[in-house]
Amino acid sequence: MAGSETLDRGTWETVLNQMTEEHDGESVSIEVLDPEVGHQYEAERLPFGTLTYDPKDDIVAVSVGGRSARYPVVLRHLVSHPREVDVTTQDIPEPAVRIVDQDGTATLITFFPQESGTGS
């Protein structure tokens, strides 16, 4: 990922919790880039909930939805035993986080700021 920084495992929990706070109210897309299956969207521009790392269970979880009548259900995408977490390091229009699991499958979480003046 151009312009990205690979995080030290010891900072995952803190950095991902901080990203949850920073991106509150935004939308996210979740893409899975599997070397065998190919590129698949799990969620496209749904309301962002949380992005966390649980060191005890060694799992990254991203949740979307569950915040309105339009998106009442919470969808969670889990990455078990991640081996790498990268975040964009420069201020770009669509910040992203990439998580690579032990099999080499990457999950890309892209944040989209709320658009102003939409009236919705």
pLDDT in tens, 31-78: 999 988 889 999 999 999 999 999 999 999 999 998 788 888 899 999
Provide the 8-state DSSP code for 7: P
Q: What is the pLDDT of residue 13?
A: 97
Pairwise CA distance, residues 4 & 16, whole Å = 15
Is the model more confident about 4 or about 41?
A: 41
The two three-digit tokens of residue 50, written as one number: 């949380």
CATH class of 4-112: mainly beta
Q: 75 with 63: CB under 8 angstroms?
A: yes
The pTM is what?
Answer: 0.86
Q: For the chain, give the mean pLDDT.
A: 89
- Cα atoms in the Cβ-side hemisphere of radius 13 Å centred on 20: 16
pLDDT average, residue stretch 10-16: 96
Task: Give the start-to-end residue ranges of the domains of the chain.
Answer: 4-112
| C-alpha–C-alpha distance, residues 68 and 50, integer Å | 15
